[in-house]
């Protein structure tokens, strides 16, 4: 399987003498899900910021193919003044949009609305839909199902797993049962 994300000997900390990561390494291949599990403040979201190059490591190397991210808070994922569809069209092709809608239990009419007109669960599913339409090699998922009820959570995760042949997924979760159910490897930080 093709490697889509490599992290070698990563060191990073916000405070000079306190490192969140010290010689941290990780390899993610297409077709894999790896779950990052840890307490609040352990550096899970910081790791995503480093992968996205929003933060610079003290040392080490991160090589990532095309990356897309699903944020934990769906309301911060979309601009409040534009329809969801226009925001999806800004970053992704909508050629396969219709085929993905049933997978995420969404109707086309919902995408014509403004973000505040949807529930948190609908908005999070639209965020995941947008990320998938971006055709990433690496999908970063930060608590992607925390805004969803248990039934929809399971459906969404099954549909993400169904698309694994094309991508590698790195999942941040506090839900150890979810990590055990879907991840090829669980990394405790």
CATH (domain of 132)? 3.40.50.300
Q: What was the pLDDT predicted at 140? A: 96
Residues paired with residue 139 on neighbouring β-strands, in sequence order: 68, 169
Tens digit of pLDDT for each residue in 125-176? 899 999 999 999 999 999 887 767 777 788 878 888 888 888 999 999 888 8
For position 164, what pLDDT does the model report? 81
CA distance 175 to 183: 12
The list of the chain residues with pLDDT below 70 reads 147
Strand partners, 28: 5
Q: List Cβ neighbours of 8 (8 Å cut-off, separation of 6 or more).
A: 25, 60, 61, 62
Domain count, the chain: 1
What does the alpha-carbon distance between residue 3 and residue 151 come to, in Å, rounded to a whole number? 32
Percent of the chain with pLDDT over 70: 99
- The parent domain of residue 37 ranges over 3-188
pLDDT for 147 equals 67
Residue 156: predicted pLDDT: 78
Residues whose CB falls within 8 Å of the CB of residue 40, separated by 6 or more in sequence, listed in order: none
**For residue 25, how many other CB atoms are within 10 A of its CB?**
12
The reported pLDDT for the residue numbered 146 is 76
pTM listed for this prediction: 0.91
Measured distance CA(45)–CA(36) in Å, rounded: 10
CB of 133 closer than 8 Å to CB of 92: yes
Locate the DSSP E strands across 30-155.
Answer: 33-37, 59-64, 67-70, 138-142
For residue 126, the model assigns a pLDDT of 93
């Amino acid at each position: 399987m093709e490697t889509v994300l490599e992290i070698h000997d990563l060191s990073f900390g916000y405070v000079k003498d306190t490192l969140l990561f010290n010689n941290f390494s990780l390899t993610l291949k297409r077709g894999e899900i790896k779950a990052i599990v840890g307490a609040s403040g352990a550096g899970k979201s910081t790791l995503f910021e480093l992968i996205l190059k929003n933060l610079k490591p003290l040392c080490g190397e991160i090589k990532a193919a095309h990356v897309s991210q699903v944020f934990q808070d769906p309301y911060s994922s979309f601009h409040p003044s534009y329809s969801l569809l226009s925001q999806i069209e800004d970053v992704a092709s909508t050629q396969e949009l219709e085929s993905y809608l049933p997978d995420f239990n969404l109707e086309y009419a919902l995408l014509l609305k403004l973000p505040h007109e949807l529930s948190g669960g609908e908005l999070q599913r639209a965020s995941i839909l947008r990320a998938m339409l971006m055709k990433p090699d690496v999908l970063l998922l930060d608590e992607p199902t925390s805004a969803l009820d248990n039934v929809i959570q399971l459906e969404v995760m099954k549909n993400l797993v169904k698309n694994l042949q094309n991508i590698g997924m790195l999942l941040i979760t506090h839900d150890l049962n979810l990590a055990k159910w879907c991840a090829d490897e669980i990394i405790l930080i």
